[in-house]
A = this chain, B = another copy of it.
């Protein structure tokens, strides 16, 4: 079986009518799996619902523990894009026998033109095929955990060294 850990980020943000804020209150990943007619057996667990700008070292430790502690060998982690590479660098040196793919979105699923559905589909293929290791799957590309950063200006992920 394949595990999907939810940690929050732009992907799951939704509009709160009372004050017009974008908030994290639940995950939409099950809805996305349904839209993709997913017949793959997946276990979904919300670890936290945080904007990744506000993630602290303690949060990344919890994510690491969860990855180490679960029986599944294939793990997708939804994560805010701003510090996704940072979390990958916490998991990378420690997890050796599992395939972990971090994925997120630049535009929340609740928006018409969101990249969330495309990205989650992409990550679910990647995690099933890639050999053990920690990866980031964004912009229809796969990045190794130790050679990736988010370009703050373009909003796109890129290799640090080619």
Contact = CB atoms under 8 A, between A and B. Distances in A.
Contact of A122 (B13, B121, B138, B152): B121
Interface in A1-57: 10, 13, 15, 17-18, 20, 22, 32-33, 35-40, 51
Interface of A: 10, 13, 15, 17-18, 20, 22, 32-33, 35-40, 51, 106-108, 110-115, 117-126, 128-130, 137-142, 152, 155-158
28 contacts: A13-B20, A20-B51, A32-B118, A35-B115, A35-B118, A36-B115, A37-B139, A37-B140, A37-B156, A39-B139, A39-B140, A39-B141, A39-B156, A40-B139, A40-B140, A117-B117, A117-B121, A118-B120, A119-B121, A121-B121, A121-B122, A121-B125, A122-B124, A125-B125, A125-B126, A125-B140, A128-B142, A129-B129
